Amino acid sequence: MRDELGAEVPLTGPARRVVSLVPSITEAVAVSAPGRLVGATEYCAHPPDLDVTRVGGSKYPVVDAVLALAPDLVLANAEENRPADVARLRSRGVPVFVTAAPETVPAGLASLRRILVDCLGLGPPDWWRTASSRWEHTPARRCTAVVPVWRRPWVVLGGRTFATDLLRRLGVDNAYSDRADRYPRPKLPELLATVDSGAADLLVLPDEPYRFTSTDGPDAFPGIPHALVSGRHLTWYGPSLVEAPEVLLDQLAAVRR
């Protein structure tokens, strides 16, 4: 078996002791294969009752803590986890499956299917089938949005990102989807001009990775329509995709000024 970056994953059978360093993958494994997960990061907050050993953060996991759990598989992501940590785990004989950063909802679901089926020996779970069905179709465009994901400096969603594709499947185009950079860093005057010019008519403010709130974020865009949305439902690919359409459409409908 090879992971999504082409590296060999020397599994000899379905993984039984799994450490996940990616919050959305952690949730998918915990829900689909109870008892297989033995370790996760401090940022793996779902399911809420997850009771496993914590091994530090996604960017800076405590590799010795991972090794102490004697996993037969570690799950990582090319965008969230450092190559040096992956290399150290592999040098100690631990199989590591590294996922690529998915650029579409179908790609995210396909990635999870590989983990659950090929690495864990499961069939596609019910939540996976339901999510796949719910995200098949793309409606007509309803609006175009600017989607900041960080402040100080401002960082927005660009093209080729999972969240950009997810919004498109809700009828919301991304004003920065034509940028080659996945996460452009425009200055605030440019963001304001994008809305003022009519190139965008909505500001979408998620609560992660930066926690935008009614008082932190909209203050920089006075009078501009904005919607506060769940970052987990916008950016995670896993069981949350089942309820994400209803959650996000309700939040997008609650436009404020």
- Each residue of 143-199: pLDDT tens digit? 999 999 999 999 999 999 999 999 999 999 999 999 989 999 999 999 999 999 999
Predicted confidence at residue 152, as pLDDT, reads: 94
173-136-116 Cα angle (round to 5): 115
Contact 19, 36 (CB under 8 A): no
The tokens describing 52, both together, are 């496993």
What is the pLDDT at residue 47?
96
Q: What is the pLDDT of residue 64?
A: 97
Query: What residue ranges define each of the domains in the chain, with the CATH number in brackets?
Result: 18-133 (3.40.50.1980), 139-253 (3.40.50.1980)
Give helix 126-134 / helix 240-253 axis angle, nearest 10°: 40
Confidence (pTM): 0.94
φ and ψ of 107, to 5 deg: -65, -40
| Cis preceding-peptide flag for 153 (omega within 30 of 0) | yes
Tens digit of each residue's pLDDT, the chain (257 residues): 999 999 999 999 999 999 999 999 999 999 999 999 999 999 999 999 999 999 999 889 999 999 999 999 999 999 999 999 999 999 999 999 999 999 999 999 999 999 999 999 999 999 999 999 999 988 888 999 999 999 999 999 999 999 999 999 999 999 999 998 999 999 999 999 999 999 999 999 999 999 999 999 999 999 999 999 999 999 999 999 999 999 999 999 999 98
Please, which residues have CB within 8 angstroms of residue 153's CB and are 6 or more apart in sequence? 185
